Amino acid sequence: MPISGLVVTFQSSVAEHADSIDQIADLPEVEVGESAGSKLAIVVDSATKRRDQEIWNAVYQLPGVIDLAVAMVAFDEDAETKP
């Protein structure tokens, strides 16, 4: 049951990617947090590792997304992931 805090980086300012952000927000497992510049913080709380991976892939492929970085994952998954 992974919980992860992710940082989505867009090509340009967050404001220009409202469509993609709406799509992210529509995912029931995702909570959208604060944003600044081209970065947006989200938390994914999914039931399985597989689902977590699916969400990751889905977000990664949204238009305008150039990077997805892990800020934190729940302890059992935790490792020295370089942000």
Contact segment (CB under 8 A) with other proteins among 17-25, 38-46, 59-67 equals 38-46
The answer to the question of residue 33 lying near other proteins (CB under 8 A) is yes
Q: Is the dihedral of CA 63, 68, 72, 78 positive or negative?
A: positive
Q: Which two tokens stand for residue 72?
A: 């934190």
The residue (of 26 and 80) whose beta carbon lies closer to other proteins is 80
In Å, how far are 22, 27, 38, 49 from 74, measured between CA atoms? 25, 19, 25, 11
The answer to the question of residue 40 lying near other proteins (CB under 8 A) is yes
Residue ranges in contact with other proteins by CB under 8 A: 1, 3-7, 31, 33-36, 39-43, 45, 49-50, 69, 71-76, 78-83
